[in-house]
Amino acid sequence: MNDVAAERELVLAHVRYLLALADDTLVASQRLGEWIASAPELEEDVALANIGLDLLGQARALLTHAGGREGRGRDEDELAYFRDERDFLNVQLVERDNGDFAVTMARLLLLATYLHELWTALLTSTDETLAAIAAKAVKEADYHVDHARMWVLRLGGGTEESHRRMQAGLDAEWPYAEELFDDSHIAPVVLETGIAVDPATLREPWLRRVEAVVDQATLTLPDSRPAVTGGRRGIHTEQMGYLLAEMQHLARSHPGASW
Amino acid sequence: MRPANPTSGSAGSPAAGGRPTRVAPPSRPGQSHPGSAPHRRSSRSTDLAREVAGAVPDPEIPVLTIEDLGILRDVEVSPDGHVHVTITPTYSGCPAMDAIRADVVEALGREGYAEVTVALVLSPAWTTDWMSEAGKQKLVEYGIAPPAARDPEGPVALTLSLRCPQCGSPDTRELSRFGSTACKSLWVCNSCREPFDHFKTI
């Protein structure tokens, strides 16, 4: 393979890696935004909005970076609003309906703990922009993990009903966590060049941290099999279409609109 | 809180369009703005531009300037009069950044700088240690408990006790880790019963 073709392949693999990261944070942010005015208490409306906003900021930086690396003139808005469902590479964990508050907290615990491990590992990425995004995001993720942890502890160790629902939330989300550690979408070249982190290496530290919270919350770590997913290949659940319709319709109905 | 996307039903959508200035993507660390390097600094003009840009108040906490907050990274004026301003966000998703960009352009415009580019950089990541001592003092006077000094090697410090900025009592408790903006948490004083914001240490 000549140098030009090799460089082209690296760029494509790099962009694909960045888009998967961006889409996880963008879609998770969109779902968290749905809680605004519907959370159990006012402080929680504010907390989930803030966590969503952090994730949205991370997504914007990642999308902007991906568009720049791709070099075809696509900016963050083009990538967020004008890609179709099959082009989104997020895990199915983040796109499914929110469920009740316990489901959301279980999901946030699994996701934020993974993201905290990921951002920590990406601090030394050879992609300096990605490392800079990680340096901001890791501090934000720390707060997100802590928020989810406190709620899981409170609900798990609360009343019989809150315990039951927290366990049900964990059971519902657990099968979808495995996809976070799927590395099949990451081309070897972005790992060899030190741009990407192999998510499979994050599984052990992630599991230790999640298990500690689950134990302390008097809950049981599910032993269910991983769900059949495909988010990293653009295969999504039915709920993803509705999420995108809501997120994208304005920009598509009024191209170039500004306010 | 200012929604990131006022016309959307939820706050979880990317902002689109309507930006007052062209914004460069995050630069690599150690790489200054592409337009600034080859030019000789016009120091007097740069000093004035820096003063003007630095005096722009933060839209969320107007008692602080962006200089106090430590989010103004660099101001340079090219020989052709073009001002290159570099700012950094406190939090990745800080919705005030767009307003700050617009305010910087407007403030410099009033001083006769017609050409202004505001670039956003992420590295090195902002921490509350970038905030000036004067800024922290202004926060207390404004009724916001300032951030503590960080241990650069340690994990994010979880603040266990804070002094009430209203009555000075140390008998306070955290109501919510997330406050009215991304950078603040919500506290209440057990002595004077007043709620107050705390600028989180990150």
Omega of the bond leading into B29 within 30 degrees of 0 (cis): no
**pLDDT tens digit sequence for A206-231:** 999 999 999 999 999 999 999 999 99
Q: Which of residues 156-175 of A touch B (CB under 8 A)?
A: none
Distance CA A79, CA B16 (A): 11
- Which phi and psi (to 5°) does residue B87 adopt? -125, 165
Which of B86, B88, B91 to mutate to test binding with chain A, by most A CBs within 10 Å of its CB?
B91
CB spacing of B93 vs A63 below 8 angstroms: no
Q: What percent of chain B has pLDDT over 90?
A: 50
Contact B191, B167 (CB under 8 A): yes
Contact residues, chain A, for B202 at CB < 8 Å? 139-140
Tell me which of A35-39, A63-67, B197-201 is least confident.
B197-201
CB spacing of A46 vs B95 below 8 angstroms: no
pLDDT at residue number B21? 38
From A30, A46, A57, residue closest to B10, measured CB to CB: A30
| Between B43 and A36, residue with greater pLDDT | A36
CB spacing of B92 vs A132 below 8 angstroms: no
**pLDDT tens digit sequence for B11-45:** 333 333 333 333 344 333 333 443 343 344 456 78
pLDDT at A17 over 70: yes
Produce one character per residue of B123-152: b if its CB has 16 or more CB atoms within 10 Å, e if not: bebbbbebbeeebbebbeeeebbbbbebee
ipTM: 0.75
Q: Which of residues 21-60 of A touch B (CB under 8 A)?
A: 26, 29-34, 36, 43-44, 46-47, 49-60
Contact residues, chain B, for A141 at CB < 8 Å? none
CB spacing of A129 vs B25 below 8 angstroms: yes
Query: What is the number of helices (H) and of strands (E) in chain B?
Result: 4, 7
From B125, B158, B179, residue closest to A135, measured CB to CB: B125
Distance CA A140, CA B202 (A): 8
From A34, A137, A259, residue closest to B10, measured CB to CB: A34
Distance CA B119, CA B44 (A): 22
